[in-house]
Amino acid sequence: MTKERTLVLIKPDGVQRSLIGEIIKRYERSGLKLAGMKMAVPTSEHIEKHYTVDPNWRRVTGEKTIKSYKEKGLAPPSEDPLAITAIILENLKKYIASGPVIAMIWQGVHAVKIARKITGGTEPLTSDVGTIRGDFVLDSYQLSDADGRAVRNLIHASGSVDEAEKEILLWFKPDEIINYRLVQDEILYDVNLDGILE
Ligand code: ADP
Ligand code: MG
């Protein structure tokens, strides 16, 4: 369980806003271990592969968007989830391929859920305060859809363990992933804390 891994990307807006250090700090201090990290400018083909590794992504993201509009008493751009994600995917390709991103693998118990919690909900307007998206951005679906672009929310974090493993294969070669021991692993995971007192 302590070897669970998740993929986190700092999207181009996070790099441009000089938030790399602040963002890494938030995952690092949770106790998750950094197992891989690189900077790259992804191609739009790579972004399409990244978002479609999960066959349900198109439907789920479209439904999430419709629900979010309706909760605010607004009419969604379409009632068809797949029509919505067709546009979102095109906009995401332009957004994430627009400049350098930081790709990271974070490892530890419940890595996927812990990273999502630290990241916050997809739409910055409603992301909780204290999360990265809640603290550092102010975008909304309403504004991004009106402007014909993806919502700028600084981060990608894998949505499930299965999605994470597939995404990691897409972003990292096996020899770019490092297995190592951190001294703090003992205080996080050891059953007995023998040996602290001399
Ligand atoms: P998350 O990144 O929280 O896992 P999704 O996987 O549902 O969210 O969507 C992927 C990305 O697509 C989001 O992070 C966001 O940048 C963009 N996005 C999602 N829904 C919309 C929308 N309705 N309008 C604009 N951009 C969106
Ligand atoms: Mg997602």
pLDDT in tens, 104-121: 999 999 999 999 999 999
- C-alpha neighbours within 13 Å on the C-beta side of residue 139: 21
d(C-alpha 92, C-alpha 121), whole Å: 17
User: Averaged over 167-188, what is the pLDDT?
Assistant: 96
**Which atom of ligand 1 lies at the shortest distance from residue 156's CA?**
2
Q: Of the bound ligands, which one is closest to the alpha carbon of residue 115?
A: 1
Reported as a single tens digit per residue, the pLDDT across 112-149 is 999 999 999 999 999 999 999 999 999 999 999 899 99
Say what the pLDDT of residue 99 is. Answer: 98
Share of the chain above pLDDT 70, in %: 100
Q: CB of 159 closer than 6 A to ligand 1?
A: yes
Q: Are 50 and 167 in contact (CB under 8 A)?
A: yes
| Token pair recorded at residue 33 | 């271990």
Backbone angles phi, psi at 157, to 5 degrees: -135, 130
Domains within the chain, CATH numbers bracketed? 5-189 (3.30.70.141)
Candidate of 9, 151, 160 to mutate for ligand 1, largest count of ligand atoms within 8 Å of Cβ: 151
Say what the pLDDT of residue 195 is. Answer: 84
| Token pair recorded at residue 104 | 């990271």
Is the confidence at residue 159, as pLDDT, over 90?
Answer: yes
Question: Quick check: is 46 catalytic?
Answer: no
Q: CB of 6 closer than 6 A to ligand 1?
A: no
Give me the chain's average pLDDT, please.
Answer: 96
pLDDT band at 194 (very low <50, low <70, confident <90, very high): confident
**Which atom of ligand 1 lies at the shortest distance from residue 65's CA?**
23
- Measured in angstroms, how far is the CA atom of residue 184 from the centroid of ligand 1? 34
Q: Return the residue whose CA atom lies nearest to atom 14 of ligand 1.
A: 122
- The residue from 46, 50, 110, 156 that is catalytic is 156
- Of all helices (H) and strands (E), which one includes residue 5? strand 5-10
pLDDT band at 11 (very low <50, low <70, confident <90, very high): very high
pLDDT band at 169 (very low <50, low <70, confident <90, very high): very high
d(C-alpha 32, C-alpha 29), whole Å: 7
Say what the pLDDT of residue 179 is. Answer: 97
Reported as a single tens digit per residue, the pLDDT across 33-62 is 999 999 999 999 999 999 999 999 999 999
